[in-house]
């Protein structure tokens, strides 16, 4: 397809919980520099897939490779140091640390952490807080932030790890209109820094607004892969989201 090797290759990945396949035979590539959206109805296996990539759970089958290196058997901290950072859908701030310290932990232990002292990490953290517009709250305890602030903090912690691939798990959920716009600007700014993004999102406006390409999951399987325009016109996708009857009516209209 293109001469550039993909930054992330997911090949036939599957995850079984008990007798249920939460994810099954999913394959896709992420190209360097792109913003790939990962969408699907609730329970489609999106977060499971992010867990597989970040090493939080091990795949039952299939492989995941980052920059050509297979991630099988690696622990999350190894993957984090390799250059993949992620956020959690339910944010996990270090509640009793200050906002600055939260971010500094990412700078201490992320991809660039080894060569950095604690005080250098603090300086990098300040720069990241500036970038995500959280600098005024730097000395407040993380638990004092409102939800939008916490989502930003979650991104700042991941960014401070200096990842080459950033996985964002529903960072828009719970945000209001203007906050969503600000967060979209932030995602574009992150992308402009050369960081590849894989974003899980429910808000279609965000997917259409920022993504170059979209992968759609339904019941743990990939049902579509293409540009936002292609995907939103895809009958299988519409069916997955809105049910069979609506999909037929939609096609009849078209």
Partner 1 sequence: MNLAVFVVGIVLAVLAARPLSPPVVRRLATIALVALMLIAPLISNSTSILFDALTAMCIAYGWNIIGGFTGYAAFGNVAYLGLGAFVAAGFMSRQPGHLAWPWFVGIPLSVAIVALVAGAIGMVVLRLRGHYFSIATLGVGVAMPQVITSDALFGPKGLVPNFFGGGLPLNFPLAEDISRGSLTLDADRYFFYGLGLLSALIGWAVTWRLSRSKFGYGLVAIRENEEAAEVMGINTTVCKVYAYMLSAALAALGGAVIGYKLTNMTTEADALFSTTNNLQMIIICLIGGVGTLWGPWIGAFVLFGLQEALRMASNSADFLAWEGVVFALLVVLVVLFLPRGVMLFVATRTRLTWRVFARNLVAHRV
Binding site for partner 1 (CB under 8 A): 54-56, 75-78, 80-81, 85-86, 88, 92-97, 101, 104-106, 108-111, 113, 117-118, 121, 157-158, 161
Phi, psi of 170 (to 5 degrees): 50, 60
Q: Which is nearer to partner 1, 61 or 120 (CB)?
A: 120
CB of 85 to partner 1, least distance (A): 8
CB-nearer residue toward partner 1: 163 or 228: 163
Token duo for residue 30 = 């992420």
Q: Tell me the closest approach of the beta carbon of residue 79 to partner 1, in angstroms.
A: 8
Comparison of 33 and 76: residue with beta carbon closer to partner 1:
76
Beta-strand pair 84-86/69-70: unpaired
Per-residue buried b or exposed e for 175-203, using 16+ beta carbons within 10 Å of the residue's own CB: beeebbebbbebbeebbeeebbbbbbbeb
Closest CB to partner 1 among residues 35, 74? 74
Give the span between the Cα atoms of 67 and 55, in whole angstroms: 15
CB of 59 to partner 1, least distance (A): 17
* Cα–Cα distance measured from residue 78 to residue 83, given in angstroms and rounded to the nearest whole number: 9
Task: Report, in Å, the least distance between residue 172 CB and partner 1.
Answer: 20
């Amino acid at each position: 397809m293109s001469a550039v090797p993909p930054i992330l290759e997911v090949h036939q990945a599957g995850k079984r919980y008990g007798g249920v396949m939460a994810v099954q035979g999913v394959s896709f590539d992420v190209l360097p520099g792109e913003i790939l959206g990962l969408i699907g109805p609730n329970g489609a296996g999106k977060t499971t897939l992010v867990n597989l990539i970040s090493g939080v759970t091990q795949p039952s089958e299939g492989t995941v490779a980052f920059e050509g290196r297979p991630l099988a058997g690696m622990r999350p901290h190894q993957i984090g140091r390799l250059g993949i950072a992620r956020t959690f859908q339910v944010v996990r701030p270090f509640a009793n640390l200050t906002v600055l310290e939260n971010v500094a932990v990412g700078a201490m232990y992320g991809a660039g952490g080894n060569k950095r002292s604690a005080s250098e990490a603090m300086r990098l953290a300040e720069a990241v807080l500036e970038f995500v517009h959280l600098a005024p709250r730097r000395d407040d305890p993380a638990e004092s932030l409102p939800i939008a602030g916490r989502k930003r903090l979650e991104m700042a912690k991941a960014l401070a790890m200096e990842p080459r691939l950033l996985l964002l798990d529903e960072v828009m959920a719970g945000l209001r209109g203007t906050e969503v716009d600000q967060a979209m600007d932030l995602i574009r700014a992150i992308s402009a820094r050369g960081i590849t993004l894989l974003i899980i999102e429910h808000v279609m406006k965000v997917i259409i607004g920022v993504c170059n390409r979209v992968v759609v999951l339904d019941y743990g399987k990939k049902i579509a892969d293409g540009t936002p325009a292609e995907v939103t016109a895809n009958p299988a996708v519409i069916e997955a989201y809105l049910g069979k009857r609506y999909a037929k009516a939609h096609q009849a209209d078209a």
